[in-house]
Amino acid sequence: MSLLTVLTNVVAVVLVLHLLSLGVVRRLAGRELRRGSLRENVRAVGPTAAVLGVLLVANGAVRDVGVELSWLIGLNITGAIHALEGAFVADLQALATPELTAYFSFVYVFGYVFLLTFPIVLYALHDDTRPLAATLVAYALNYGIGLVCYVLFVAYGPRNFMPGAVESLLFTNWPEVQHLTSRVNENTNVFPSLHTSLSVTVALLAVRYRAAAPGWLPIATVGAASVSVATMYLGIHWLTDVLAGILLAAFSVAVGARVADDEHGDGTDAIGTERAPGAGLEQFRR
């Protein structure tokens, strides 16, 4: 079946990306990743991981309920978003070339999955628990808040609102992938862009914990920027969704890092960061 083919492709490609990146990161870090800490880390973040797991399962299970509820109580803001930003996405698509389309399609599907899964592997192998804990908390916040927003706001993306001006580049060039995306998401769930928020979350965490894995920072930054642009370039999200996604990411990382410090910080400064007294952007700047 097509769905199975797409799924197999994604798993295979993401696995390859994982192996490649582990090599690159280790090289850039200039030291072995410590495997010994894996068991310890898993034990330490077990409860957080369980919460994230429950949230993900619930997300899948209540997706139908969420959509029904959304049409009952949600606010249809498609027109408002369009009034706010106009034809920005259409202008962006004016730059389209076959190569860019191929690149952004790849990033949107494979790159995104890789970007989300790799930090978990990376930080699980690290001897400090905090990056892993912060990542899991931040993911959970992204999904949780995203889910609430999807119930409260009904919005269609530019590809569904401006046919003619905005092309659905991903699905016209690669229709099979819609078998996958229509299983995991609804076309009314675009505000905010979870693709953007989760990718930016990964990048902000890479900045925050760059001492833990210096090699990861450039990959995560380029990846997050690419995914954010891809969501608009492919006509799936509005600029508004992307900006909201970035805000959500900043919030999630701020809370995630704080929780990680409170729960797992033992006073010793294992990865060269110290606890920030102030909240906000200070957390990412260090």
Partner 1 sequence: MGSESRLPADRRSVLAALGSGATVFGAGCLQRARNLTGWRSTQPVTFRIKTLPTDADPYALALAREVASWFRAAGIETTVLPMAEQELMRQSLLRTEFELFVMRLPEKFREPDALTTLLHSRFADAPGWQNPFGYTNLDADEAIERQRRSAGAERRSALESLQRTIARTQPFTLLTVPDDIRAARSAAGPNWQATDLRSPVGYLRLAGEYERSGEETVLRVVSTDRRATTNLNPLAVEFRRSGVLTGLLYDPLARRIDGRLTPWLATSIDLVDGDPPAARVTLREDVTWHDDEALTAADVAFTYDLLADTTLGDDDEDAEVPSPEYRGQSSLVDDVAVVDDRRLDVTFADADRGVVGRALTVPILPEHVWRDRTDTAAIGGIPVGTVTEALVSNNIPPVGSGPFAYVRNTPRESLRLERVDGHFSTRETAEFPDWIAEPAVDALSVQVVGSDVTAVETVADGEADVTGTAVGAATVPRIGRSEAAELLVRRSDRPYVLGYNTRRTHLDNPRFRNTLARLVDEQFLGDHVLDGYARPAVGPLQGTEWYPDDLEWDGGNPAVPFFGREGELNVDAAREAFREAGYQYEDGTLVGGGP
Judged by CB under 8 A, does residue 195 bind partner 1?
Answer: no
Q: Tell me the backbone φ, ψ of residue 185, rounded to 5 degrees.
A: -150, 165
Amino acid identity, position 8: T
Nearest Cα neighbor of 147 from 59, 245, 73 is 59
Give the residue, chosen from 85, 178, 214, 263, that forms a contact with partner 1 under the rule CB under 8 A. Answer: 178
Give the residue, chosen from 98, 164, 277, 278, that forms a contact with partner 1 under the rule CB under 8 A. Answer: 164
Size of the site for partner 1 (CB under 8 A): 27
Cα gap 281→171, rounded to integer Å: 37
189 Cβ contact list (under 8 Å, min separation 6): 150
Give the residue, chosen from 40, 176, 262, 282, that forms a contact with partner 1 under the rule CB under 8 A. Answer: 176
Q: Between 68 and 269, whose beta carbon lies closer to partner 1?
A: 68
Q: Between 175 and 280, whose beta carbon lies closer to partner 1?
A: 175
- Strands of 69-203 (E only): list them: 75-76, 153-154
Judged by CB under 8 A, does residue 179 bind partner 1?
Answer: yes
Q: Between 98 and 164, whose beta carbon lies closer to partner 1?
A: 164
Amino acid identity, position 57: V
Full DSSP string of 139-171: HHHHHHHHHHHHHHEE---HHHH-TTTS--HHH
Judged by CB under 8 A, does residue 8 bind partner 1?
Answer: no
The pattern of x and - marking residues 18 through 57 that bind partner 1 according to CB under 8 A reads ----------------------------------------
Judged by CB under 8 A, does residue 187 bind partner 1?
Answer: yes
Q: CB of residue 185 vs partner 1: minimum separation in angstroms?
A: 10
269 Cβ contact list (under 8 Å, min separation 6): none
Q: CB of residue 257 vs partner 1: minimum separation in angstroms?
A: 37
Judged by CB under 8 A, does residue 59 bind partner 1?
Answer: no
115 touches 272 (CB < 8 A): no
Q: CB of residue 164 vs partner 1: minimum separation in angstroms?
A: 6
Which of the ranges 132-140, 181-189, 213-221, 224-232 carries the binding residues for partner 1, by CB under 8 A? 181-189
Amino acid identity, position 131: P
Judged by CB under 8 A, does residue 162 bind partner 1?
Answer: yes
Nearest Cα neighbor of 144 from 54, 70, 82 is 54
Judged by CB under 8 A, does residue 79 bind partner 1?
Answer: yes
271 touches 129 (CB < 8 A): no
DSSP code for 67: H
Residue numbers at the binding site for partner 1 (CB under 8 A): 1-2, 64, 71, 76, 78-79, 83, 154, 156, 159-164, 168, 171-172, 175-176, 178-179, 181-182, 187-188
